Amino acid sequence: MYEGRGAAPLTTRAFLKRVGVHFGIASTLVAGSLGLGMIGYMHFEHLAWADAFLNAAMLLGGMGPVESPATLGGKLFAGLYALYAGLVFLVAAGVILAPAVHRLLHQFHWEQEGKARSASATKHDAA
């Protein structure tokens, strides 16, 4: 999926396309997780869709639920969903940041290899 260490860095257009693909993947993951949370809150806590959306979105955003669960099933779901939401938050952030971090690291390698090659060529020409 990514270019190798010896390859030239991507053009800006290709890089922006890669960022868009990663953003789409992360958005799909978050939207699916939000839907899963809404279904769980509506089933276990019998919340209206708007309240279920609010609780699920707050957990995915790292804020915590708005309403405390009243049923045992709701409490178990809320706890498990909170653990899941924390992981989704970290994974989505990693997926979104991956192209930028890769480009930064690739740029460092590209500059190091370019300097090493020019130094090697200079030594070879001097001999």
CA–chain centroid gap for 89, Å, is 7
What is the distance in angstroms between the CA of the first residue and the CA of the last residue of the chain?
Answer: 41
CATH class of 12-121: mainly alpha
**pLDDT tens-place values along the chain, 127 residues long:** 676 766 776 788 888 999 999 999 999 999 999 999 999 999 999 999 999 999 999 999 888 888 889 999 999 999 999 999 999 999 999 999 999 898 888 777 655 555 655 555 555 555 5
In the chain, domain spans: 12-121
CA–CA separation, 107 vs 79, rounded Å? 42
Both tokens of 87, joined, read 């992981």
pLDDT, tens digit (0-9, with 9 covering 90-100), for 39-75: 999 999 999 999 999 999 999 988 888 888 999 999 9
Whether residue 65 contacts residue 55, with contact meaning beta carbons closer than 8 Å, is answered with yes
Total residues belonging to the chain: 127
